[in-house]
């Protein structure tokens, strides 16, 4: 017999527990056990007036942000709607069945105002990291660094020529933030090269063709991770060029030392971090082993001997050329005091049978050597070892986290600085 739904008079009272309707294996249940925002109110207190109507609870907004990040909800308006409708989100945000969800404009104002001024999101991030450290998830021995381009939500067709600069009428928040960052080494001061195009809607985004295809506006997100369990120990947003990414790596390493006493024994990274200066900074200033591919453009393409064909004698501080003659230095520094020149004698070169393969256009051969060449040699040695091979595998964990960010959390692009 076909049944039918009984339409009855609605009950006067319901016995309803919102928590009972959130599945035990729901992601938010797992997260909720570890979320501790007890210090949040104290951090934000200076940014609220002591008078007037009570504000929206900041903990509610942070919990909503966590929902947004976990489920790839990027629009503030949609996040407010989803939290309003979804029982699990309501439960996580402690809203109950009839709690009011803040208006999306209030949410947005707090996020871009108080939260940013108080650096609240970094505090939340650090609270999570400290918890990971207490749980023993961060070894602190080996860390890896990498950067990934995040496409800016800026229309590439509306870019204006970089040489012309921003129009005078551009005064929005994104422009103000861009102007405030002009002297920051991770943004405006990272390079003196004027970009080909600037986005008037998001001027801090950098025009880049780094992916090899069509150029676009982008930022870089930089991660420093502990390789034991791929825990992100620091993050920094920069403009999308290599110099800024290297600076971000230094900032993250120093910050994790200052804030959390994390002194890694080795840093893993690709050749973007393999400049002589960066390797010297790691080895000589911080005693960190560079498990990094050396950035080396000394190989010659014209068939003449490259620097690798000359053997450096550490004890006597001199090179031996393929003809067995010595190249010495006076110790004078050139190229911004970063390089020493080692010269062969004109007499040796003049009578050398290898001259055409060595220095066909000059009377004698000279070989430049960075003052950080010792650190580069160390990185080369490590790269050939089993440890180096293992490090190259481990550093792929950062790429996995970038894939997670872009594919699962849906942050392949952003509207402004992340
Ligand atoms: S040309 Fe000079 S530096 Fe080059 S191999 Fe001959 S002696 Fe050595």
97 vs 212, residue with greater confidence: 97
Ligand 1 mutation pick, 300, 320, 325, 345, max ligand atoms within 8 A of CB:
325
Distance 331 CA to ligand 1 centre (A): 20
CB of 344 closer than 6 A to ligand 1?
yes
- Return the ligand 1 atom nearest residue 359 CA: 1
The predicted structure's pLDDT at residue 417: 42
CB of 352 closer than 6 A to ligand 1?
yes
Report pLDDT digits (tens) over 114-125: 788 888 888 888
- Return the ligand 1 atom nearest residue 352 CA: 6
Distance 367 CA to ligand 1 centre (A): 11
Q: Has residue 416 got a pLDDT over 60?
A: no
Distance 200 CA to ligand 1 centre (A): 56
CB of 358 closer than 6 A to ligand 1?
yes
The predicted structure's pLDDT at residue 189: 65
The predicted structure's pLDDT at residue 293: 93
Q: What is the average pLDDT value for the chain, to the nearest integer?
A: 86
CB of 139 closer than 6 A to ligand 1?
no
* Local confidence band at 170 (pLDDT 50, 70, 90 cut-offs): low
- Return the ligand 1 atom nearest residue 364 CA: 2
Q: Has residue 412 got a pLDDT over 70?
A: no
Nearest alpha-carbon partner for 344 in 325, 330, 371: 325
Report pLDDT digits (tens) over 284-331: 999 999 999 998 888 888 889 999 899 999 899 999 999 999 999 998
Question: What's the distance, CA 20 to chain centroid?
Answer: 40
CB of 321 closer than 6 A to ligand 1?
yes
Q: How far apart are CA 270 and CA 383, in angstroms?
A: 11
Minimal-distance CA residue to ligand 1 atom 5: 323
Q: Record the tokens describing residue 78, joined without a space.
A: 């949609």
CB of 268 closer than 6 A to ligand 1?
no
Distance 352 CA to ligand 1 centre (A): 6
The predicted structure's pLDDT at residue 418: 38
Ligand 1 mutation pick, 345, 354, 364, max ligand atoms within 8 A of CB:
354
CB 292 within 8 A of CB 270: yes
Distance 337 CA to ligand 1 centre (A): 26
Distance 381 CA to ligand 1 centre (A): 27
Report, in angstroms and rounded to the nearest whole number, the Rg of the chain calculated over CA atoms: 28
The predicted structure's pLDDT at residue 102: 87
Distance 358 CA to ligand 1 centre (A): 6
* Local confidence band at 274 (pLDDT 50, 70, 90 cut-offs): very high
CB 127 within 8 A of CB 67: no
Q: Is 253 exposed, middle or buried (0-12, 13-18, 19+ CB in 10 A)?
A: buried
Prediction pTM value = 0.81
Give the mean pLDDT of 9-14.
Answer: 72
Distance 380 CA to ligand 1 centre (A): 25
Q: How far apart are CA 69 and CA 193, in angstroms?
A: 35
- Return the ligand 1 atom nearest residue 358 CA: 4
CB 139 within 8 A of CB 226: yes
230 vs 43, residue with greater confidence: 230
Distance 316 CA to ligand 1 centre (A): 19
Q: Has residue 110 got a pLDDT over 90?
A: no
Which range among 142-151, 183-192, 228-237, 289-298 shows the weakest confidence by mean pLDDT? 183-192
Residue bearing tokens 């393929």? 322
Distance 368 CA to ligand 1 centre (A): 15
């Amino acid at each position: 017999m076909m049944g039918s739904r009984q339409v009855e008079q609605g009950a006067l009272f319901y016995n309803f527990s919102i928590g009972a309707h959130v599945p035990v294996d729901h992601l938010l249940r797992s997260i909720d056990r570890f979320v501790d925002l007890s210090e949040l109110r104290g951090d934000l207190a200076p940014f609220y007036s002591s008078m007037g109507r009570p504000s929206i609870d900041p903990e509610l907004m942070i919990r909503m942000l966590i929902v947004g990040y976990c489920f790839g909800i990027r629009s503030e308006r949609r996040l407010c709607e989803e939290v309003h409708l979804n029982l699990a989100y309501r439960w996580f945000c402690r809203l109950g069945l009839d709690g009011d969800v803040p208006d999306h404009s209030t949410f947005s104002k707090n996020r871009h105002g108080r939260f940013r001024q108080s650096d609240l999101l970094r505090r939340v991030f650090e609270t999570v990291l400290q918890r990971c450290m207490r749980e023993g998830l961060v070894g602190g021995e080996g860390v890896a660094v990498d950067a990934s381009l995040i496409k800016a939500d800026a229309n590439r067709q509306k870019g204006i020529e970089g040489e012309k600069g921003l129009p005078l009428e551009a005064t929005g928040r994104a422009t103000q933030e861009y102007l405030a960052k002009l002297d920051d080494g991770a943004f405006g001061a990272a390079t003196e090269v004027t970009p080909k195009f600037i986005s008037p809607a998001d001027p801090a985004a950098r025009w880049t063709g780094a992916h090899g295809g069509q150029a676009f506006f982008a930022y870089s997100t930089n991660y420093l991770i502990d390789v034991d369990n791929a825990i992100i120990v620091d993050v920094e947003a920069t403009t999308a060029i290599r110099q800024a990414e290297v600076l971000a790596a230094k900032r993250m390493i120093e910050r994790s030392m200052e804030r959390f006493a994390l002194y890694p024994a080795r840093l893993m990274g690709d050749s973007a971090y393999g400049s002589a200066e960066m390797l010297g900074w790691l080895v000589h200033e911080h005693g960190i082993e560079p498990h990094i591919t050396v950035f080396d453009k000394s190989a010659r393409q014209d068939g003449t001997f490259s620097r690798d064909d000359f053997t450096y004698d550490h004890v006597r501080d001199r090179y031996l050329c393929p003809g067995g003659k010595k190249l010495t230095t006076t110790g004078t520094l050139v190229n911004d005091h970063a390089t020493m020149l080692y010269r062969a004698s004109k007499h040796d070169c003049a009578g050398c049978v290898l001259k055409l393969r060595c220095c066909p256009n000059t009377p004698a051969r000279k070989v430049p050597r960075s003052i950080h060449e010792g650190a580069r040699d160390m990185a080369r040695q490590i790269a050939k070892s089993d440890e180096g091979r293992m490090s190259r595998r481990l550093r792929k964990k950062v790429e996995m986290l970038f894939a997670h960010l872009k594919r699962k959390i849906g942050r392949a692009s952003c509207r402004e600085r992340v």
